[in-house]
Amino acid sequence: VKNVVIGQCKLCLAENGRLLESHLLAAGFYRRILSTQSNPHPLLISAKGMRSSSDQVRDNVLCEDCERLFAKNGEDYALRVAADRRSFKLLDELTRCGLTRGKLEDSRWSEIRSSPKVKRDHLAYFALSVFWRAAIHRWPDPEDSTRTIKIELGQTNTESLRLFLLGEAALPPTANLTFYVLTDRLSQATIYLPGRTSKVGFRWGYGFVACGFMFNLFLGKSVDPTASRVCLIHSPERFIWIRGGEQKTLEAVGHISRQRAAKSFPR
């Protein structure tokens, strides 16, 4: 193993641990959409705009045990069902199970009773682990050595997420996660690292996109019944939303991108 640093693990808080080179978003997500053909790199959307890149964001943050926990509880499954350049296992399975169509145009979803084999707990754990990683460290931006990548979730929320990821506490009812499976090829070849997407009253939204997944995390001091109704974790239906259309995705990601540009920190 190369690039080991001795220090405190930010998840289990063990001192003098061997910290491995952790990724903000697992290297496998970049590998899934790497191609040897005409487009050799995934489409990376960031403060600098949209470009092809396989630059990965990494630093020594977690110990080996915690890296293994992340893999076992979420990342391995998420990677297995994410889109690659030939297929998208999660979308295929949800479609096979039958989607429910809403009244609004392009409004489709899957509930846990129709797709019980989809590992929603693993997908939620994976998503929260990525948001938490983005919040607990200033990650060096491989595109720009003067900048770092970090989101501010607030101390209480960050600690709640840490306890959830360690299996020591449930996710508070004030936190909501919405999960979209994106049906168009462009979104499936896109990576957008975590950024802030909205602030409505005293509720903050954050998002990221990776290989056909779009996750949005909403945090506030009080419970938001509307957000809880559509939440992957707190809704009784454990909703997964299906959404298509390159235009909509780009608008959403573009919004994230502008927010991130405004929030980029000088190192």
Residues at the site binding Zn ion, with contacts judged by CB under 5 A = 9, 11-12, 63, 66
Contacts of 82 (CB under 8 A, 6+ apart): 29, 32, 88, 89, 90, 210, 211, 212, 213
Complex with Zn ion: residue 18 or 31, whichever CB lies closer = 18
Complex with Zn ion: residue 11 or 135, whichever CB lies closer = 11
* SS (HEC) of 64-97: HHHHHHHHHHHHHHHHHHCECCCCEHHHHHHHHH
In the complex, residue closest to Zn ion by CB: 9
Complex with Zn ion: residue 69 or 79, whichever CB lies closer = 69
Complex with Zn ion: residue 18 or 248, whichever CB lies closer = 18
Quote the strand ranges of the chain, DSSP E. 5-7, 17-23, 43-46, 49-52, 58-63, 100-101, 108-110, 139-140, 147-149, 175-182, 190-200, 203-210, 213-220, 240-243, 265-266
Kindly give the pairing relationship between strand 43-46 and strand 190-200.
Answer: parallel
Minimum gap (Å) between residue 68 Cβ and Zn ion: 9
End-to-end CA distance of the chain: 28
Minimum gap (Å) between residue 25 Cβ and Zn ion: 19
Half-sphere exposure of 191 (CA within 13 A, CB side): 26
Minimum gap (Å) between residue 74 Cβ and Zn ion: 16
Rounded Cα gap, residues 256 and 37, in angstroms: 29
Minimum gap (Å) between residue 57 Cβ and Zn ion: 19
Complex with Zn ion: residue 75 or 224, whichever CB lies closer = 75
Complex with Zn ion: residue 66 or 78, whichever CB lies closer = 66
Q: How far is CA 191 from CA 40, 73, 172, 186, 237, in A?
A: 14, 22, 28, 10, 28
Minimum gap (Å) between residue 135 Cβ and Zn ion: 16
Minimum gap (Å) between residue 151 Cβ and Zn ion: 21
Residue showing tokens 């092809």: 52
Minimum gap (Å) between residue 67 Cβ and Zn ion: 8
Complex with Zn ion: residue 9 or 253, whichever CB lies closer = 9
